[in-house]
Structure 1
């Protein structure tokens, strides 16, 4: 940090220290304002110009340094100077103070952040250049947002100072008037009868209603502005158009049809999307075959003779395809047509916020209009830009299912859920698997004890896990495929037959025409959605992988409810998507299932917690099935049974987790789980036993000691029965 910045920081720290030392935070209170109202008002009457100037200067300092008390000072402006002088002083001083805070943030932090996050800052600056003034005005109009945060945040952007000052001044005027006017009424309170005067009640009613009025006005202006230049159709072909026939699209269309809306679903490929055709269904079918192979290979665990596993990989993949075919009717066009959904085979692109052009698979084109449109185009595997990778014709979770020959040596790039599930399955089916992960652990979103257990099992099953390895180049050397990885500065050579890439996913937005309606994708490829799942326009929504932040089938279905309901009934009420209880499962062996906070997340967020653990090796059902590996870990606030998060590592972890998910959703604590009858012997008893571990740790020691003495007294001396 240069010398000028250090001097400025020192000056700010000095002013803040003086403010605290002089109890400035106690001076700028409503009680203090009312206590000195009469004496201060008398002095101001004799020294109006000096008083207004000094007041404005103090207001500038308070707002520029983001000190507490700006609201009280605004009320004081009205109380001491009246509506006219108070409004002039506050509006000018608040604008100058906000502009100074804006400049301070820009001087101290912008260069540093721009150097560190160049691409992100550049993208924000483009948005500010395009819509910055409007969004600043909306933030200023709605006093829900702390003004000091707006000052600091906008200072980090490329917005011009004159734009910032002018927009802030104009947009803050309505709110300033409301608060100053309320202050004038405070200044007129002389007796208790004044408290119920019509003027006072009206002023404070306006003070309370202003945020709602401002929100309505902002919403109206935003709609007018965002739809400017577009001609809304006089009538519509549909109530809802859904683009994409995956999990999110199917649920959106189903909901619309269920409430008797006219709905069409457009899908250019196969109904069911990734989940049915290339994701959940085929991968779980393959994992089940792999588990069967592992059971045969280790049949001695069950008192049987272990046998070498023999089988045709082609036959295994044929079974996978047969599973897809059996599930397929659930997502078929025929079923959805029966439900009342018009299914259209083609590729859709936006013409306007209400109009879609469809390039039909049969070669024709069609234009359709709808009151609301849902984008549910899903995602696809991402290929990292590693030299030579494309020449290897890499496998992904999308094209893997066309394999007919099992790779003898399989290289898996990625240690996340998809990479780990498929690496484990292929290893159990007999492939020699090398798994490369550039991070320090597998399943990086989980706690270290979870990752460590999975790593231990992978290594026991023969997977060569290479942590802290980053693939840098792929080559063909003497007819052999080779990957080169960087491992802490050392080059590592890994030969292989096939490479499976599982390092993340990218949203499907190509040829969708989002740029035609002014929607830009985020750096990770997803589209920017509001809390109600809408895009730039209140009638255009997105859900599923194309929207993020979760890329799970159940998350897509969860979002789809909000998109469909808000799309059909949003003019009456809008629902904000709720992610507070989002479970997920990684289907390795053992499975990893989690809901809520992990220990790592709790520490990062500064949330106090305690941990309750229960080992599945203690569970009778797990013992009978020789599946005792794993544990349950539950996070709760210190001394309380409310569940902050839970993770289950073990066989049937996904099913066990459901009880914790239900409890979190409905505010049930561990005591409620403990008090619920669970059939014996079942895997779900483990949830009850975990709750029992919490109860034992919080047993009332003093009460138990008193009870012990009570029972001893009841037995009489030397254990003899007492006559009572």
Structure 2
């Protein structure tokens, strides 16, 4: 009721303002016609008129009524530059703060509750740099200040901060407009403000935000770097810590532009992707798929047979694949590029100095103008009672350990129903292990739409995986040589015996041991960075899994470009990292690939969409390959062909997705995809047919009806 009452009061004041034609007083002609009278009042009662003017200005601004610019001019005409600036400066800030508070009281809770997910990034930006955002907007007087007042009221910025930033930020614009008001008698229109004597003021006003940003950056840097002594010269332009995808690309870019760069890696070049993740897992998946095809050779008109193989040879092939790719990421290759590769453990001593515990012994200290942290992530191991006693493997350790086995584990438990867990569970099941996969959620691959999860689940079950969804791992037990996992489902405990257990419940950023805590660099599961990948210190950047929010090799490489370029050239130009179009693929069979929104995402965020779906059992090439399972699902803006997101489930889904990634990146709609020639018969035609489904759904029925009548008439 209080809010309703306040709304009624505001509405009554606004109606009264226009009903009594008070708005005519706040026009240039109205102001000029009453100028003589106002000046007489001011001469008789300067304090009363000044106070009354200030109060009126506050009311006009608080109610977001038109006329603030005219009143600013009037202040210059009535009170001169000095007193006019003083009155308007305080009146405008007080009125703006009142409008801000009203907006917050009436609208903030409702807006945040309904659009909180969409506003999350904006809220985080305001919480981090709200004062600067507001200050920058206040320096541009052509931006409607009443909108700033109302919109900032919807954020979490403090009212006191809003007031003083507004007071300071609007000062320069106030001076310019009040100064223009001193020439009010000569003005015939608002365009007259742009006299030659004032043009320079407005030019400076436009440049001032850039100058202010530089000044604020200097002030912020002085505060952040207080207590540290910056070197007068540096050993390197850039130091990169970690030689995974993010680190390798950062170092490569720096060397390409002839910067002096050192790349530090304590373990293996190539990081997790080459040695423990992408490459070995895909090699395993291929071997498992061939075994599956042999087992189901009748699908291709051949005699099915149970594959016989040496598990050691399968694992040796995986290591051979790694060895063949290793030269791409080797010390030798990067050294030839001009990168100084140092093998050892790096630790930040201060914002410019890195100390390296060399692998061969001893230490080395290097200074650099900028540093990129690309330390990657490691498998997360849950705090599960008894886990250490029974022993376990992760995606990091299984490759070396399993290479020593003569055959795959007979009974294998996989903890986790995400991409890594699903890929490993299906592969080892196809290689002969009895696999039990345990997932505490109601379905596997829960980041995907439910129909995707169901299809993946059916495929794993057909391959022999025992899926225990909605099961919580309680503890592990060992009795003699017998290992058991106790799981709980709907209040009941059951036992799963196993020979080997793989933890695949996620990955966590490597944050310890690099000196982050000593420098006060903030971490929240990952290193906290701004839009430019800068940490607390503007010269220290983070890229890859350690920075989040996506743990993909291609995203690490994507971030590395921004980190390296901003580190080397940020003095002149900084680039905000672009996460708008991020693709990913889970390499189960059939593959699951996605870019942009899923239906689940769109519903959770309240985003309107249309959906078209093309089933692969209709695709000629899929039928020819006996792989007609899956679909292409495209989400679009209602009534338009603009792509919001794509999910592909099927053979080569990760490869097929690239066309949609390109389309979304460059703003191409489904009409462009449909109009592109696709080779027949190929899997890529599925994309064209999905676009065709959208076209049919949006066919102009009225025109088609008229065409039917036309052709009927033509036939006589």
Q: TM-score range by the shorter chain?
A: 0.7 to 0.9
Match of 1:37 among 21, 28, 31: 31
In structure 2, the partner of 1:116 is none
**For the residues of structure 2 that align with 1:256 and 1:250, how far apart are their CA atoms?**
10
Q: Which residue of 1 aligns with 2:233?
A: 235
**Greater CA drift, 666-675 or 610-619:** 666-675
Give the Cα separation in 1 of the matches to 2:6 and 2:497.
Answer: 61
Measured in 1, the distance between the counterparts of 2:703 and 2:105 equals: 62
Match of 2:558 in 1: 558
Residue 275 in structure 1 maps to residue 276 in structure 2: no
For the structure 1 residues 480 and 610, does the alpha-carbon distance in structure 2 shift closer, same or farther, using more than 3 Å as the test?
same
Task: Report what 2:609 is aligned to.
Answer: 609
- 1:265 paired residue number: 263
Write the deviation string for residues 211-268 of structure 1: whole angstroms up to 9, x where unpaired: 3332232233233333333322222222221111111111111111222222211100
1:271 positional shift = 0.1
Q: Please state how far the C-alpha of 1:696 moved relative to its aligned partner.
A: 2.1
Structure 2 stretches of 5 or more lacking a match? 110-123, 140-147
Indicate the RMSD between aligned Cα atoms, in angstroms: 3.7
1:702-721 map, 5 Å: 702-715=702-715, 717=716
Q: Which residue of 1 aligns with 2:511?
A: 509
**1:335 matched residue in structure 2:** 333
SS in 2 for 1:309: coil
User: What's the secondary structure of 1:143's corresponding residue?
Assistant: helix
Question: Take 1:59 and 1:467, find their aligned partners in 2: how far apart are those partners?
Answer: 65
Judged with a 3 Å threshold, the aligned counterparts in structure 2 of structure 1 residues 56 and 500 are, in CA distance, closer, same or farther, namely farther
Unaligned segments of structure 1, at least 5 residues: 1-5, 112-126, 718-724
- Secondary structure (helix, strand or coil) at the match of 2:369 reads strand
Q: Deviations over 1:23-82 (max 9, x none)?
A: 889999999654653467567553765565456557667888xx645xx66535522323
Deviations 1:64-123 (A, max 9, x none): 8xx645xx6653552232344454345445655677789999999999xxxxxxxxxxxx
Alpha carbons of 1:191 and 1:531: their partners in 2 closer, same or farther (altered >3 Å)? closer
Secondary structure of the 1:495 match is strand
2:494 aligns to what? 493
Cα deviation, 1:535-576, whole Å, max 9, x if unaligned, reads 223322111111111111111111111111222222222222
Question: Taking structure 1 as reference, are residues 186 and 253 closer, same or farther at Cα in structure 2, changes over 3 Å only?
Answer: farther
Match of residue 362 from structure 2: 364
Query: Contact between 1:76 and 1:180, CA under 8 Å: does it hold in 2?
Result: no
Q: How many Å apart are 1:360 and its aligned residue?
A: 0.5
Rate the CA distance shift 1:467–1:597 in 2: closer, same or farther, 3 A: same
* Residue number in structure 1 paired with 2:483: 481
CA distance in 2, matches of 1:110, 1:338: 57
The Cα offsets for residues 611-643 of structure 1, whole Å up to 9 and x where unpaired, read as: 121111111110011111100011222232222
Alpha-carbon distance between aligned partners in 1 of 2:626 and 2:434, rounded to the nearest angstrom: 26
Q: Which moved more, 1:667-676 or 1:644-653?
A: 667-676
Q: 2:702 & 2:86 partners in 1: Cα distance?
A: 66
* Residue in structure 2 matched with residue 593 of structure 1 by the alignment: 593
Count of matched residue positions in the alignment of Structure 1 and Structure 2:
681
Q: Which moved more, 1:306-315 or 1:547-556?
A: 306-315
What is the distance in 1 between the residues matched to 2:218 and 2:376?
32
* Partner Cα distance (1:453, 1:431) in 2: 22
Distance 1:261 1:20, change over 3 A: same
Select between 358-367 and 9-18 the one with higher mean Cα deviation. 9-18
Distance, in Å, in 2 between the alignment partners of 1:135 and 1:407 is 53
Quote the residue 2:446 is aligned against.
444
Q: TM-score, normalised by structure 1?
A: 0.84
Note the alpha carbon deviations across 1:459-500, whole angstroms, 9 max, x for none: 232323233333343334676434344445x13324232332
Partner residue in 1 for 2:117: none
Q: Counterpart of 2:381?
A: 383
The partner residue of 1:435 within 437, 454, 457 is 437
Determine if contact 2:634/2:647 at 8 Å carries over to the other structure. yes
| Kept after mapping to 2: 8 A contact 1:591/1:651 | yes
Tell me if structure 2 keeps the 8 A contact 1:59–1:73: no
SS at match of 1:516: helix
2:223 to 200, 222, 225: 225
Does structure 1 retain, via aligned residues, the 8 Å contact 2:590–2:629?
Answer: yes
How far apart are the structure 1 equivalents of 2:50 and 2:555?
57
Asked whether the equivalents of residues 182 and 203 of structure 1 are also in contact (C-alpha less than 8 Å), the reply is no
CA distance in 2, matches of 1:95, 1:542: 39
Matched, 1:412 2:414: yes
Distance 1:319 1:193, change over 3 A: closer
